[in-house]
Structure 1
Amino acid sequence: MQQKFPLLILLSLIIGAIACKKVDVQLGSDFVDGSNTQIIKVDTFSAELSTVFVDSFITSGKGTTLIGGYQDSIFGRIATQTYFQIAPPTFEDIYDNVTFDSLTLILKLNKSYYGDTTKPVHIDVSRVTDKIEPFDNGFYLYNVDKFNVDPAILGSKDVIINPNQTDSIFIKLNAALGQELLNKFISKSDTIKTLDVFLNYFKGLRISSNASSQLIFGCKDSLRMRIQYKKKGLYLDNKNIDFTLHNSNLHFTNTSVDRTTGRPDIVNLPTLKEIDSRSTGNAAYGQAAAGSIIKLKFKSIRDLLKVPNFAKILSARLIIRPVVGKYDRNFYLPPQLRLSTTTALNQIGTDLTAIGANGSPVVQYGNLFIDYGLGVSTAYSYDVTNYIKFAITDAVDNRNGLLLVPPTSGYETNFSRVVIGNRLNNIPNSKIELQIFYAAVQ
């Protein structure tokens, strides 16, 4: 579809056509004679979409404790387990005439969540029996890593999370362990006084859930395991001993995905590595924290060079409309998504940028607008002018494209998903649109 306008009229139309923002059209010295120049809008170049599998990614040192799991209609059963070490406080010789009261794990929420907040989340706390450390002499721990735990659960709790009201969660742990730990303070044991000895004795904790949970939520890494005890004196005083997080670089989350309970056409994604959207219901599926991202390719874009009188691309805007009905207030869209260049290897490359308010390039995150009413106006939008200008000059038939991924800071911890329809998708207002304005000289 092409629309032609006289040059003087068209500039005012572009202002209204692109998100109510002024568009500066620079034709340059090659197009001095305005009577022979036309600006043409074309929106018929479609993107080829695919769902790409991400095998593993770093989850250690992210500062977030993820708890829970849920059943996703697309990806299947998703579950998280967080592992970490704790360390005792600096030893003081103050534990005479004391009696044990309780042992509690205290978690502080960071207000992030994904799933159904009306249903309780089951939480299990287990003692790790392996030394927590990177595998193969590496430096990081990944979403696929895990360590053995004692089969006896230290403590459990079912909680309903209200992200706007719930501040902390208190989970009572095994009293025998608490008494054992307090005894080591009383006896001035090297296990308590020397950190390496303690970490060999108490290798860490794992927080997990079970199949009943329908929510994943996040907590800060400022967690603590607290011994509460009473000390006899003139009065009976209530006292605490707090064990805090040790080595945040060994604090990480394991994420498992049972795809057999999701869409049958993406169950083999880990084996196939990439699946064309035409084989998955004319849509591609992205949930980075569960190992799935969306790839876009513009393989037909060089056909623009064949258009009669084509001279120069002036601007290009990509509008991504998520499939209507695949998101709501609980299973919400990623608030930010960046576009990163990639190759046939599907590795994340350079992020697409735009000129910010201070005149410097800034990464684009889509400026998401959500229409929770009818869903017809929900969209991400990106200035892809420079990318499309480069793409039409690339004569090689390759599998280069763009990956739609969350910001670097939330890649591993944000479970929100996005579903994008290809040009054959028959759900209204659920397709990608590439708008190109170019100059033609007759």
Structure 2
Amino acid sequence: MKVFLNKLRALHIIMIGGLFTIVVISCSDDIYNDTDFVAGETFTDSNIRLILIDTLTVSTSTMKFDSLATSESTRILTGKYSDAVFGTVRASSYMQFLPETYTIDSEAVFDSLVMVLGYDNYYYNDTLQKNTIHIKKIIENLNPESDDYFYNTSKISYDEDDLGFYEYNPRPLAGDSITIKMIDDFGTDIFSKLQEKDIVNSDEYRDYFKGIALLPDETDNGSIIGFSKSSENTYMRLYYSTETEYESEQEYFDIQINATTTPIPFFNSITAEDPITPLQGLTDSKVNLESSDSNNESYIQSGVGIAMRVQFPSITSLYDIPGSGTILDGTLKIKPVAQSYNDNLKLRDTLAVYVVDQNNDLTETLSSTSYAILNRDNQEFNDIYYEISLSYYLEELYLKDRDIDDALILLPVDYNSTVDRFIMSGNGNGENETILELTYGIYDED
């Protein structure tokens, strides 16, 4: 039988007088982890033979989406770092602001304008290195080109001169926020236009001030930092003074991220330039980079849209087993490549699993409960892997209720709001290769 190559283990369960007698027959020294299942009427009326199979072909590859919608990202991302595999990873953020008031006392005097960026606890790579933020003035309307979304590849023009500049040591977990002083000429101009009532509503303000871009410096090589989009944590604050009878009182008002306009005038630009040669061939979303052509590895990078792709081309060979049967359990195990992760390049506890068709178009999430879960039980022995329960999906493939050309892809859950990267062992990677463990039940042998 084609499905039994060299690691077959069989568990025979024979029905005698309503009781199960269990006899274990093993052709290897591997430990069998018993899988609980509920026997239906078909099973209880017949002899049952359970077969554990871990030698079915698993086809692994890498694909890349043409772009990812980032206008609904949950955070602001800015920073830059160099990666030996994925190249130069850069994140910049573009957004529109609106003042909370259009009225300033005619006797008030401008003091200063600052930008406050509140940390949201996300970071990626080395925060011990300094980061830089350049604040630029956007000089075109912040509107998507063709639909209601901006993408990681979208481009918006901005003035080369800085409205503000800040070099800092990121403290995303210990710190609260960073404050960047903006140039007085810009602050004075906003202040005077509001005070003199040249601008009295949001439409006039948007015509005057299109928005800002937050950019890293070209020399940065540290980390990408997440900042909050909440108006309570991130804003521009304009300080001014008013004279009273006895003293000068300082007041302020905030200019907040515009979260009410549709389409949303916000997006993160996320790019990765000059990756390793195999990844440079991913120029179209229909291209699949086979693991055999990339050091027996597959790759994942959120923000940029690189995903690991998995197919099961030989699942229907289960029909070669004599008798009628069904898939009772199926678990896919995928190992991250050793030494490809560390405290700066972290593994996440969970990855989302999506279904794509033969053209790599997303068709569905696998299910609300199917995720790739990181198993660290034997971490002290460097045995770490992601596991995915696939029983229902595999049964659909086996019964031909699903197109055999369908595939699964793995991405971080928040793939449009992060820049996490992963290097996974593909098929052909020896003892670390991706494997599928099946429990197949035969209930009516020929």
TM-score by length of 2: 0.87
Q: Which residues of structure 2 form unaligned runs of 5+?
A: 1-6, 14-20
| Conserved? CA contact 2:60–2:311, under 8 Å | yes
Corresponding residue of 2:416: 412
Aligned AA for 2:342? D
Corresponding residue of 2:183: 174
Corresponding residue of 1:217: 225
Aligned AA for 2:198? D
Asked whether 1:203 is paired with 2:205, we answer: no
Q: CA deviation at 1:205?
A: 0.4
Asked whether 1:147 is paired with 2:151, we answer: no
Corresponding residue of 1:432: 434
Corresponding residue of 2:194: 185
Q: CA deviation at 1:308?
A: 3.7
| Secondary structure at 2:210 match in 1 | coil
1:159-181 CA-to-partner distances (Å, cap 9, x unmatched) read 11222211111111111111222
> Which of 337, 341, 344 is the equivalent residue of 1:323?
337
Q: CA deviation at 1:30?
A: 5.0
Residues matched between the structures, number? 417
| Conserved? CA contact 2:67–2:304, under 8 Å | no
| Secondary structure at 1:135 match in 2 | coil
State how far apart, in whole Å, the 2-side matches of 1:388 and 1:183 are. Answer: 66
- Which stretch shifts more, 285-294 or 266-275? 266-275
Seen in structure 2, the aligned counterparts of structure 1 residues 437 and 79 have a Cα distance that, compared at 3 Å, is same
Corresponding residue of 1:229: 240
Asked whether 1:60 is paired with 2:71, we answer: yes
| Secondary structure at 1:328 match in 2 | coil
More helix by share: 1
| Secondary structure at 2:36 match in 1 | coil
Q: CA deviation at 1:204?
A: 0.6
Asked whether 1:85 is paired with 2:99, we answer: no
| Secondary structure at 1:412 match in 2 | coil
Corresponding residue of 2:115: 105
1:210-246 CA-to-partner distances (Å, cap 9, x unmatched) read 2313211111112211122222222121211211112
State how far apart, in whole Å, the 1-side matches of 2:251 and 2:96 are. Answer: 23
State how far apart, in whole Å, the 2-side matches of 1:202 and 1:384 are. Answer: 51
Seen in structure 2, the aligned counterparts of structure 1 residues 372 and 44 have a Cα distance that, compared at 3 Å, is closer
Please show how residues 7-86 of structure 1 align to structure 2 within 5 Å.
Answer: 7=13, 8-9=21-22, 17-18=32-33, 23-26=36-39, 28-29=41-42, 32-34=45-47, 37-86=48-97
1:305-332 CA-to-partner distances (Å, cap 9, x unmatched) read 1124462222111122222211112111
| Conserved? CA contact 1:10–1:39, under 8 Å | no
Corresponding residue of 2:267: 252
Seen in structure 2, the aligned counterparts of structure 1 residues 224 and 397 have a Cα distance that, compared at 3 Å, is closer
1:188-211 CA-to-partner distances (Å, cap 9, x unmatched) read x222x1221111111110001023
Asked whether 1:120 is paired with 2:130, we answer: yes
Corresponding residue of 2:16: none
Corresponding residue of 2:346: 332
Q: CA deviation at 1:43?
A: 0.5
Aligned AA for 2:154? D
| Secondary structure at 2:194 match in 1 | helix
More strand by share: 2
Q: CA deviation at 1:412?
A: 0.3
- Which stretch shifts more, 368-377 or 243-252? 368-377
The RMSD of aligned alpha carbons is: 2.4
Q: CA deviation at 1:374?
A: 4.7
State how far apart, in whole Å, the 1-side matches of 2:394 and 2:326 are. Answer: 11
State how far apart, in whole Å, the 1-side matches of 2:392 and 2:401 are. Answer: 16
> Which of 234, 238, 242 is the equivalent residue of 2:250?
238
Corresponding residue of 1:299: 313
Corresponding residue of 1:158: 167
Q: Which residues of structure 1 form unaligned runs of 5+?
A: 354-361
- Which stretch shifts more, 225-234 or 362-371? 362-371
- Which stretch shifts more, 217-226 or 396-405? 396-405
| Secondary structure at 2:140 match in 1 | coil
State how far apart, in whole Å, the 1-side matches of 2:101 and 2:252 are. Answer: 13
| Secondary structure at 1:350 match in 2 | strand
Aligned AA for 1:70? Y
| Secondary structure at 2:151 match in 1 | coil
Corresponding residue of 2:4: none
| Secondary structure at 2:350 match in 1 | coil
Corresponding residue of 2:18: none
Q: CA deviation at 1:253?
A: 0.8
